[in-house]
Chain A
Amino acid sequence: MLSLYAPGTSPVHRTRAGLKLAALAALGTGLFALPRIEVVAAALVGVLVAGLVVARLPARALWAQVRPVWLLLAALFGVHLLVTDALTGTVTVLRLLTLVLAAAVVTATTRVTALVAVVEWLLRPLEVVGVRPARVGLMVAMTLRFIPVVAERAARIREAQAARGASGMRLGLLVPLLIQVLQLASTLGEALDARGADDVPARRPRRA
């Protein structure tokens, strides 16, 4: 999910983020409503064409998204062989695969800010009950930004501890990591202030 945006100018890239997310939702609903092998296979081909041919994404980028769920899909197929039949298993697995790939195509062709803008738009009705969409959107973007930062700091602490003879993943990692994250958060709060995060206008200008 992280920073997968692969810049480009293809029609898929240029399609509005809201439309892509809506299509993703429709695809998900449709595949569950019509669990037939022809439908699922056609959808899979469609997604692959959109991703590899139209958007010209490298196959590697899509594979990177499938790899983490590969085992899960195989296990699911195995379960279906035991309790239902191969056809149902195939439909179920291909359906999930299609959705994973479709999500990968959307995230690879859409800027985070554009996705965030959609989230903000969806939240707008909640403004009446005091939700601040711009704030939620910023939170989403910052989460995506800081997951790799924190992961990197954790890795650095683990290295430092390993260099001093510690081994494996230990509770001792958590304390120094927590301290670093708190420091980071404190500066981050100041940086947000300094960059005017508090001045958020009622409506953010939209981009992309």
Chain B
Amino acid sequence: MHWGRRGAAAADAPPLPRTAVELRDVTHAYGERTVLSDVTLTLTESRIGVIGANGSGKSTFARLLNGLVVPTAGTVLVDGLDTRTQVREVRRQVGFVFQDPDAQIVHPTVAEDVAFGPTNQGRPADEIARRVDEVLDRYGLDGHRDHPAHLLSGGQKQLLAIAGVLVMEPQRVVFDEPTTLLDLVNTRRVAEVIEGLRQDVVVVTHHLDLLARFDRVLVFEDGRLAADGSPAEAVPWYVARNA
């Protein structure tokens, strides 16, 4: 287990393996307020959890991974792509699921919303139709394709939001508290969906039990990486720390 910084100094690091997210000396401030300091990390694992107190910088960290936030200092590389200069390519690689499904569903009905991302990618209509069918089927939304999105349950809305991201076939998916607004049953359902993804995932969560079978857990504290290890190490450390 590593405490604090992990990995070698960034500047003269060798070229990146193709399948990694690398943060080099990343610092981020909103105006005067620094919310992430000096984070250096290489993420190669397929299941990575991120935990920490409210305001510790988890969401900022998550947003760095697909260029929604660009660091004020340092570099974020996704499979070698710099989020500062190659943000479009990065966003094609990294899908993002937010906490509030209502804020990420943009079309009035289910199937139309799922088609939104691939349409933006400029894919041909028949391919879009095929992919939409496939993900709706996979996430049990097939019977709801023409339903108004606002009539879905909270859990179904979050599955719809996830479907709308996965239909774009990203290499990785970042989830920022995907289960915070859901009840127990839907939390479990979404957790199963995440577990079953073939993509690499990063999941920010306050639901610690979601992380039991993850490969690696990062703990943030006041904008710093406070702990980094397996769930069996990092989660109890975090719990004890906040007892």
Query: What residues of chain A have their CB less than 8 Å away from a CB belonging to chain B?
Result: 2-3, 5, 7, 111-113, 138, 141-142, 144-145, 148-149, 152, 183-184, 187-188, 190-201, 204-207
A-B interface, 3 closest residue pairs, ranked by CB to CB distance from nearest: A3-B148, A187-B103, A196-B120
How big is the B interface, by class? 35 or more
Rounded to whole angstroms, the CA-CA distance of A145 and B101 in the bound complex is 13
Q: Once the chains bind, are A206 and B68 in contact (CB under 8 Å)?
A: no
| Count of A-B residue pairs with CB < 8 Å | 109
Q: Once the chains bind, are B122 and A184 in contact (CB under 8 Å)?
A: no
With both beta carbons as reference points, the residue of chain A lying nearest to B147 in the complex is identified as A3
Q: Once the chains bind, are B103 and A205 in contact (CB under 8 Å)?
A: no
- In angstroms, how far is the closest chain B Cβ from the Cβ of A140? 10
Rounded to whole angstroms, the CA-CA distance of A59 and B83 in the bound complex is 54
Q: Once the chains bind, are A3 and B109 in contact (CB under 8 Å)?
A: yes
Q: Once the chains bind, are A190 and B68 in contact (CB under 8 Å)?
A: yes
B103, B121, B123, B129, most chain A CB atoms within 10 A: B103
- In angstroms, how far is the closest chain B Cβ from the Cβ of A119? 14
Q: Once the chains bind, are B106 and A148 in contact (CB under 8 Å)?
A: no
Rounded to whole angstroms, the CA-CA distance of A5 and B105 in the bound complex is 17
Rounded to whole angstroms, the CA-CA distance of A5 and B149 in the bound complex is 12
Query: What residues of chain B have their CB less than 8 Å away from a CB belonging to chain A?
Result: 63, 66, 68, 88, 91-92, 95-96, 98, 100, 102-109, 112-113, 115-117, 119-125, 128-129, 145-146, 148-151, 164-165, 168
Rounded to whole angstroms, the CA-CA distance of A9 and B153 in the bound complex is 27
Cβ-neighbour of A145 out of B92, B95, B107 (below 8 A): B107
Cβ-neighbour of B150 out of A113, A152, A194 (below 8 A): A152
Residues of A within 8 A of B109 (CB): 3, 5, 111-112
With both beta carbons as reference points, the residue of chain A lying nearest to B69 in the complex is identified as A190
- In angstroms, how far is the closest chain A Cβ from the Cβ of B62? 11
Residue pairs across A and B with Cβ atoms less than 8 A apart, 8 shown, are A7-B145, A113-B112, A141-B112, A184-B102, A187-B98, A194-B68, A197-B116, A205-B119
